[in-house]
Structure 1
Amino acid sequence: MVDHLANTEINSQRIAAVENCFGASGQPLAVPGRVLLGEGILTKECRKKPKPRIFFLFNDILVYGSIVINKRKYNSQHIIPLEDVTLETLPDTLQMKNRWMIKTSKKSFVVSAASLTERKEWISHLEECIRHLLTKTGRQPSTEHAAPWIPDKATDICMRCTQTKFSTLTRRHHCRKCGFVVCGDCSRQRFLMPRLSPKPLRVCNLCYRQLLLTQKQSSRSQNQAVSPDC
């Protein structure tokens, strides 16, 4: 696809320029065979409000970060392996148009483009890179995805008990399993989800019960599989 660009001077210079923009806060991006295919500013749906983010598409990873000075300085670098990415086109809302979701096993989030054409181009290039990688590695498309966080402003009440109203004193929390906005009473539990973090994460009461049940069923199945014959 773009292998002929991998070892060219122009590609090396472009990747070096991206590294320089992230500075010491970013990870090195130049590795053998990596090609920078394009870049652009997309609006990312964040917890508090939608924010502009710079995105860089490589042939094997997607990199994005916060804009300090456009074309000169970025921070909060995130690197997403494209093999782990699944895309989903979303309908427009009053606040955001030309939306789609980037789903991965560790984090899923919604972005929007400035135009419908731009969205089509981004999705087309991403899907082409993903297909090429999966064919090259022989891997199957990812099927497990982290739930996207529902924005704080999407609800004024807890999405589980539907009674607690959020205020300055009553904080919003997010369940790391379902992404719902919940109150403290409805999210007192923590559960270890190694796919997301090495530490136990906050989950809502419903997800906690479901995760416990799944864990018990898995343990029971494993015990039956290794139990000796009578």
Structure 2
Amino acid sequence: MVDYLANTEINSQRIAAVESCFGASGQPLALPGRVLLGEGVLTKECRKKAKPRIFFLFNDILVYGSIVLNKRKYRSQHIIPLEEVTLETLPETLQAKNRWMIKTAKKSFVVSAASATERQEWISHIEECVRRQLLATGLQPSTEHAAPWIPDKATDICMRCTQTRFSALTRRHHCRKCGFVVCAECSRERFLLPRLSPKPLRVCSLCFRELAAQKRKEDVEEQGLGSPGPSAYLAGAVCGASSGDDDDSDEDREGSGDGDWPSHVEFYASGVSWSSFHS
């Protein structure tokens, strides 16, 4: 079906209509051999709240954006190459149903459909397109994925120390490694995560310790020495507090809070109730 539609006038018109809806702010989408296979509105879990987003499935990319006027105007276009995509179906909860996660090395996020049938159709079509794209490019499925950001509403206390309560004056932050909602004191460190950014990014205290330990281990293996020097430790990390922050004596305590969440447990797949992180 993809080959049949590739060079048809109707396919060109459909792609042109999508480009028109995004306007000058969007990138050109028409390429030789590219086919628009389907579209629809899904609910995307964003940091502040879940929001409707328009999604377009092509044979080689997944495009989504914000809805200004349905069928007429969209903005904030995002393009995801399908060879980078992995899908994960999420367990049902009382708060959210028909969800799945779209995972890539640079960004992962959760979406939900209006029904279980619609979810299965989206997943089936995306996975088939991913399979075909990997076959066509000769690439292997991605094994490293960015952590999805836990929505702000999931917790009113820091998910690391479980002591700090968020308020209008005490803001939430997100660890770029695990995606957890953390307080400023528990996320004062920065670490270089090349897949996400060329600059060091905010990470929580637990992820920083694990990343720094992994960095030291890799340096030891590379150098064949018993102990790396300080320069090796600093190569992947920016140590110390951010500008204006004081030293945090709790940073070095392993599992500082009684409710400290293990870094190897995935929040979305754990089935834990969000109420576990509301004091």
TM over 0.5: yes
Q: Distance in 1 between matches of 2:127 and 2:86?
A: 8
Structure 2: stretches of 5+ with no match in the other structure: 226-279
Q: Distance in 2 between matches of 1:219 and 1:110?
A: 35
Query: Given residue 95 of structure 2, which amino acid in structure 1 is its aligned partner?
Result: Q
The answer for the alignment partner of 2:97 in structure 1 is 97
Q: Distance in 2 between matches of 1:160 and 1:36?
A: 43
- Over the matched positions of the two proteins, sequence identity in percent amounts to 81
Residue 240 of structure 2 corresponds to residue 204 of structure 1: no
The answer for the alignment partner of 2:57 in structure 1 is 57
The answer for the alignment partner of 1:8 in structure 2 is 8
Q: Distance in 2 between matches of 1:197 and 1:209?
A: 19
Match of 1:109, SS state, is strand
The answer for the alignment partner of 1:31 in structure 2 is 31
Structure 1 stretches of 4+ with a deviation exceeding 6 A read none
| Aligned residues: CA RMSD | 1.3
Residue 169 of structure 2 corresponds to residue 169 of structure 1: yes
**Count of residues in correspondence between the two structures:** 225
Query: Given residue 131 of structure 2, which amino acid in structure 1 is its aligned partner?
Result: R
Match of 2:159, SS state, is coil
The answer for the alignment partner of 1:186 in structure 2 is 186
Shift in Å at residue 198 of structure 1? 1.8
Shift in Å at residue 220 of structure 1? 2.4
Match of 1:123, SS state, is helix
Query: Given residue 56 of structure 1, which amino acid in structure 2 is its aligned partner?
Result: F
The answer for the alignment partner of 2:115 in structure 1 is 115
Q: Distance in 1 between matches of 2:33 and 2:218?
A: 40
Query: Given residue 4 of structure 1, which amino acid in structure 2 is its aligned partner?
Result: Y
Query: Given residue 52 of structure 1, which amino acid in structure 2 is its aligned partner?
Result: P
Match of 1:20, SS state, is helix
Residue 143 of structure 2 corresponds to residue 138 of structure 1: no
Q: Distance in 1 between matches of 2:140 and 2:127?
A: 14
Match of 2:102, SS state, is strand
Structure 1: stretches of 5+ with no match in the other structure: 226-230
Q: Distance in 2 between matches of 1:45 and 1:85?
A: 17
The answer for the alignment partner of 1:87 in structure 2 is 87
Q: Distance in 1 between matches of 2:93 and 2:75?
A: 28
Shift in Å at residue 171 of structure 1? 0.3
Q: What TM-score, normalized to structure 2? A: 0.78
Query: Given residue 99 of structure 1, which amino acid in structure 2 is its aligned partner?
Result: R
The answer for the alignment partner of 2:106 in structure 1 is 106
The answer for the alignment partner of 1:67 in structure 2 is 67
Query: Given residue 62 of structure 1, which amino acid in structure 2 is its aligned partner?
Result: L
Q: What TM-score, normalized to structure 1? A: 0.94
Shift in Å at residue 93 of structure 1? 2.5
